[in-house]
Amino acid sequence: MFVQEEKIFAGRVLRLHVCSVEGAEWLEEVPEDTTVEKLKERCLKHCVPGSLEDPKSITHHKLIHATSEKVLTDTKTVLEENIQDKDVLLLVKKRAPPPPPKMAEVSAEEKRKQEQKAPDKDAILKATANLPSHNVDRTVAHHNMRDFQTELRKILVSLIEVAQKLLALNPDAVELFKKANAMLDEDEEDRVDEIALRQLTEMGFPESRAVKALRLNHMSVTQAMEWLIEHADDPTVDAPLPGQTSLEAASEVGASSAGAIAGPTLEADGEEPKDELTEIFKKIRRKREFRPDPRAVIALMEMGFDEKEVIDALRVNNNQQNAACEWLLGDRKPSPEDLEKGIDTTSPLFQAILENPVVQLGLTNPKTLLAFEDMLENPLNSTQWMNDPETGPVMLQISRIFQTLNRT
């Protein structure tokens, strides 16, 4: 018996239920290798007679698989779209795209956008020309801020003295401050990132030079490496950072003098706890000593200023290079000596601060004294202590009292 070849290799025939939006339903039998486009033609012939005369009719319709809600792709076959026997398909007319806007509508839209646009400088000046002027003297505002910073420092100096006297009466003060002193030994600012240092030394850079580069570049390995390469032939590359030598020398002198004083005092007076607490206070103050920004020191010294006066300028101006430069070029007020002066203890401001219950309670906390000492020499750390749950309320009360009395 003779059988046609195409019937032997023909694909499986699927029986598909097709529905139109108008509610018509019928059955289509198609081989699984039929394309979706061909299937769509057959559906349109059945549902909309004569619709194929318009070539756009096919592209304006789409077939959707009812179960998966997937729109079928015209170029794929029924098999590729994973359509099974007795599946339900929906024949839907595509939504027509919106017509392009007319020129009149475009002009109206542009006009609306222009009306909503923010006014320029000329328009603002024209609209506010007849308003009374209330000029704010920015120099006065800046001066008031500077006064607050100066007064705050004086307040801290005096409060430190009060806190030391109160804490000296606490029988556990020595142990508390020994712990505080140990915490200061772990200060990250004194340490160099060991991993970063090892990376640089493994590249072949000397350790002392790598330490200097990391400190100059805020522990960034990439920037430190660039600095080392750039200054490889610099004869002063191994010189200590400006301000570092003087600070180390001061610390050594302070430590030796503290040791010399502590010995005889302990033997003569026999007041071991009190003297031990005094020495701990001294150690804390030495560890919190002002550290000038090395980059700012170098930049200001390159302008011709002496290293000592540069460090004084940075200390007075909280390590702000531009403000320090203005201080050096100006009348140099306040002076570094002024930073050590406290506020008048009989003044209404200081009395109001001491009478505040939150401040009174805070002064009995060793952490508050540490915060005052830190902010005294490193004012940029004020934000850290303002956010601290123990010291933050104390600083907030001091600020509020100052602002209240400053307005009256």
**First-last CA distance in the chain:** 118
Sheet holding 88-93, edge to edge: 25-31, 13-20, 88-93, 61-65, 70-71
With 60 as the cut, is the pLDDT of residue 246 above it?
Answer: no
> In one letter, which amino acid is 341?
K
| Chain segment 122-157, per-residue pLDDT in tens | 888 888 888 776 654 444 444 444 466 668 888 888
Q: What is the pLDDT of residue 10?
A: 54
| Chain segment 64-106, per-residue pLDDT in tens | 888 888 888 888 888 888 888 888 888 888 877 776 666 656 5
Phi/psi for 70 (5° steps) reads: -95, 135
Averaged pLDDT score across all residues of the chain: 75
Alpha carbons 325 and 320: distance in angstroms, whole number:
9
Packing angle, helices 294-301 and 321-329, rounded to 10? 40
Q: What is the pLDDT of residue 156?
A: 87
| Chain segment 166-190, per-residue pLDDT in tens | 877 777 766 766 666 565 554 444 5
Mean pLDDT of 221-236: 84
| Chain segment 361-383, per-residue pLDDT in tens | 988 888 888 888 878 777 767 77
Q: What is the pLDDT of residue 191?
A: 60
With 60 as the cut, is the pLDDT of residue 267 above it?
Answer: no
| Chain segment 280-306, per-residue pLDDT in tens | 665 555 555 667 888 888 888 888 898
Domains present along the chain, CATH in parentheses? 13-93 (3.10.20.90), 145-172+340-407 (no CATH), 188-231 (1.10.8.10)
